[in-house]
Amino acid sequence: MKKLFLVAIFFCFPTFVFAQTYPVKPVTIVAPFSAGGSADLLARILSEKLTPVFNQPVVVENKVGAGGTIGANFVAKAPPDGYTLLLGVTATQTIAPSFYKSLPYNSEKDFKSIGLVAQIPVVFVINSELKINSVKDFVATAKKSGKVYSYASSGTGAIPHLTGELFQISTGIKLNHIPYKGAAPAMTDLISGRVDIMFDHLPTVLPHIKSGKLIPLAVAGSERAKALPEVPTLAEVGIAGVDVYSWFGLLAPAGTSDQISNQLNQEIQKIQKMDDVKAKLANMGAEPVVMSSDNFKKLIDSDIKKWSKLIKTTGIQSE
């Protein structure tokens, strides 16, 4: 009789007696780049806000190297239980599949898209000594003079480099790409006049725009940057096909349940609406973007196709 009673309890009240809700242990967010960078800072914002909600530690672990692909691969191979997540970026999820000859993970099949966290605009800037104040004038001058302007980037295959390639295709002008080992030395040479122009992320260029050393000609995105509301987009000035952002989103290993994914997506959306988070993102030059898991997956698939086409057309490849 006692056994029958216990069996009845098992079937009638399983959620109260045996169910465990996610999470029941610490969660790790892998940031695939070094501490202090945008991916790391965004991962730590999520960590700070999710820890009290989950009543479990949400820790950030930096796994760096190979353009972020070491960290991405670590998460791709992790158990699909929601306890190892990736703060993925444009580079690791949509550029790497075409840029690298061999990649240890499949960006389309090995991850579960959870939600977009934020995006950072890319800005077209020129050295103020060039005395050019619009994209139209820049393109017209380049075509009329036949001069091949040089453009700096933080490295081959990075967003600033690829944006410059898209710009050349869209305008029909030729630019001379000068890759650097990072944004800092590239910016130094741009300001000094050793190179003419650059397409780079808003946080990198904004201080130099404010100082007057650089002139912003356009934003390479579908919308104007909130920090530069007076600067038009390339589309607004008649340059189509250069819609570029660096985005940052949360992903999990493929096979992670929809329940966990949806729960995390809902928490991300709550975090994005917090005033202190909005302020932190603004200080980074980042903008929150609310997006469902399905739409985030569509964005990734679309970007993979876009960068694959460009990389094949230009022949760009990792060294």
Mean pLDDT of 204-209: 93
**Chain CA centroid to CA 92, Å:** 9
pLDDT at residue 318, as a whole number: 83
> Rounded to an integer, what distance in angstroms lies between the CA atom of residue 228 and that of residue 232?
9
Class of domain 121-219: alpha beta
Mean pLDDT of 182-204: 94
Residue 303 pLDDT level (bands cut at 50, 70, 90): very high
Which of 182, 179, 183 has its CA nearest to residue 164?
179
14 has a pLDDT exceeding 50: no
pLDDT at residue 16, as a whole number: 39
Which of 282, 182, 290, 185 has its CA nearest to residue 228?
282
pLDDT at residue 121, as a whole number: 95
> Rounded to an integer, what distance in angstroms lies between the CA atom of residue 302 and that of residue 296?
10
5 has a pLDDT exceeding 90: no
Residue 58 pLDDT level (bands cut at 50, 70, 90): very high
pLDDT, one tens digit per residue, over 213-241 is: 999 999 998 899 999 999 999 999 999 99
Residue 37 pLDDT level (bands cut at 50, 70, 90): confident
pLDDT, one tens digit per residue, over 265-280 is: 999 999 999 999 999 9
> Rounded to an integer, what distance in angstroms lies between the CA atom of residue 264 and that of residue 272?
12
Model confidence pTM above 0.85: yes
Please tell me the CATH superfamily of domain 20-120+246-314, with its number: Bordetella uptake gene, domain 1 (3.40.190.150)
Of 46-50, 115-119, 183-187, 306-310, the one with minimum mean pLDDT is 183-187
pLDDT at residue 17, as a whole number: 36
Domains 20-120+246-314 and 121-219 belong to one CATH topology = yes
Domain boundaries, the chain: 20-120+246-314, 121-219
305 residue type, one letter? K
Residue 292 pLDDT level (bands cut at 50, 70, 90): very high
